Chain A
Amino acid sequence: AQTVTQSQPEMSVQEAETVTLSCTYDTSESDYYLFWYKQPPSRQMILVIRQEAYKQQNATENRFSVNFQKAAKSFSLKISDSQLGDAAMYFCAYRRLTSTSGTYKYIFGTGTRLKVLA
């Protein structure tokens, strides 16, 4: 069964600094997608960035970028120039195909709480 592990329950970063959140996953499949979601306190979860496993190039969205190491099954999120608004719970997620019908389901990690210090 696929699993997603986020080994850092909590991280802190100084405003304007860079922080990296770790995520590892386990799968025997070769084609899948990986995601980072952000859940601010008392606010809705939103998609931060996603990576297709067949793409070797790391995804980037403004200050957010990933380091995707397929062989190592590692998918870390780097946040550059951290801002107070980045404080949130961050979830790593894996999406697989469950059948040839194209259905799927997501598997989430347990989350990393990021604190941004002014």
Chain B
Amino acid sequence: KAGVTQTPRYLIKTRGQQVTLSCSPISGHRSVSWYQQTPGQGLQFLFEYFSETQRNKGNFPGRFSGRQFSNSRSEMNVSTLELGDSALYLCASTVRSSGSFVETQYFGPGTRLLVL
């Protein structure tokens, strides 16, 4: 099976612009989570989508939004970019193995966003 893919891999934007990042989960995985990774803060949870519905949300401002399509692909959007939004944005698709009480997250390579 192909792994989690994220596009684009690198992005440079300027303050005030908006950006859309895409994530394609592993085939058959219906849950997609997004994280922001910065050197000082580590990974911070943005939101999780399952079957086209946002199931969980982290503590980020409303400028950060997302959606999931019927094929489980997900996009996240950041509007009115700020310098502090520069980060690696990771997507993870999740599946629960039969007989297991906990799911396994599979991470994509990330999109590195630089805001100038």
Chain A residues at the B interface, C-beta cutoff of 8 Å: 6, 33, 37, 43-47, 50, 52, 91, 93, 95, 98, 103-111
Contact = CB atoms under 8 A, between A and B. Distances in A.
Contacts of A104: 56
A6 B102 CA distance: 23
A103 B42 contact: no
Contacts of B89: none
Given A103-B48, A105-B45, A110 B56 contact: no
Contacts of A33: 102
A105 B56 contact: yes
B107 A98 contact: no
B108 to A, nearest CB: 7
A95 B105 CA distance: 11
Contact of A103 (B3, B41, B43, B56): B56
Contacts of A111: 42
A107 B45 contact: yes
A109 B41 CA distance: 8
B18 interface: no
Given A98-B56, A105-B56, A110-B40, A44 B108 contact: yes
B90 interface: yes
17 contacts: A37-B107, A44-B4, A44-B107, A44-B108, A45-B107, A47-B104, A50-B102, A52-B101, A98-B56, A105-B33, A106-B33, A106-B43, A108-B43, A108-B44, A110-B40, A110-B41, A110-B42
